[in-house]
Amino acid sequence: MKPNEALLTLEGWYAYHDFRKINWEAWKAATQEERQAAIDELLTLSHEWAANEEAKAGSTAIYSILGHKADIVFMFLRPSLQELNALKTAFNKTRFADFTTSDYSYVSVVELSNYVNNPGEDPKENPHVRERLYPILPKWQHICFYPMNKKREGNDNWYMLSMDERREFMKSHGMIGRKYAGKIKQIISGSVGFDDWEWGVTLFSDDPLDFKHIVYEMRFDEVSARFGEFGNFLVGNILTQEGMQELLSV
């Protein structure tokens, strides 16, 4: 077995995180009629997204974002990149989009690492695997997103480890994650060849402290301590239709 044997992965729906900033100066300067027309167009789109989710042809989540990096994130899961591009285009044609800028976005595909493989079995026929590859995004109270890489530096080069070594590392890593089952919903999306990092990690929870606890605990696991590199963290709150109206009220 070659020490740098590539891992087979399973892919599901494509993912697009669209982080938007609102131009509050322009929004406040608009007339009430202009603002309401923009909100109505956005709500019409959100109804279309909800219908898509009801048909199990994708999923959508909308959250307000804290801090200076963004005001809103739209997270979309769809069967193809073409559908994600159509979503982006449809949004950009709305009047609401005229009041926003997109300083950051992320393109990836929902991914499962097949470290546990049952020969002769099609994993996508397993309902538990399908649920993870084609998930309905939870509408829990809080979201946390961050991109990450595995290091390729000297003795800490993940890609030069053997399959057995990587499998053992990930087993330990996974045991920590299982402690948060029911508290955190995790969506791992692969972005090698799609975006600037190798993975995007999206966490959902009803208690934001769960994000702090799991990320901190993972720091002490060797996979993260030796091999993990992390980008910016973005965290926010669920944005319902009523919440959207309240957020945009002047």
Q: Is 13 helix (H, G, I), strand (E, B) or coil?
A: strand
- Does the pLDDT value for residue 79 go beyond 50? yes
Domains of the chain (ranges plus CATH)?
A: 9-248 (3.30.70.1030)
CA distance 174 to 144: 19
Q: Is 235 helix (H, G, I), strand (E, B) or coil?
A: strand
* CA end-to-end distance (rounded Å), the chain: 64
* Whole-model pTM over 0.95: no
Q: Classify 97 in phi/psi space as left (phi over 0), alpha (psi -120 to 50) or beta.
A: alpha
Whether the CB-CB separation of 201 and 111 falls below 8 Å is answered with: no
Q: Active-site positions? A: 146
**pLDDT, position 202:** 98
Q: Give pLDDT tens digits for 131-167.
A: 999 999 999 999 999 999 999 999 899 999 988 898 8
Would you give the distance in Å from CA 249 to the centre of its chain? Answer: 28
CA distance 136 to 214: 22
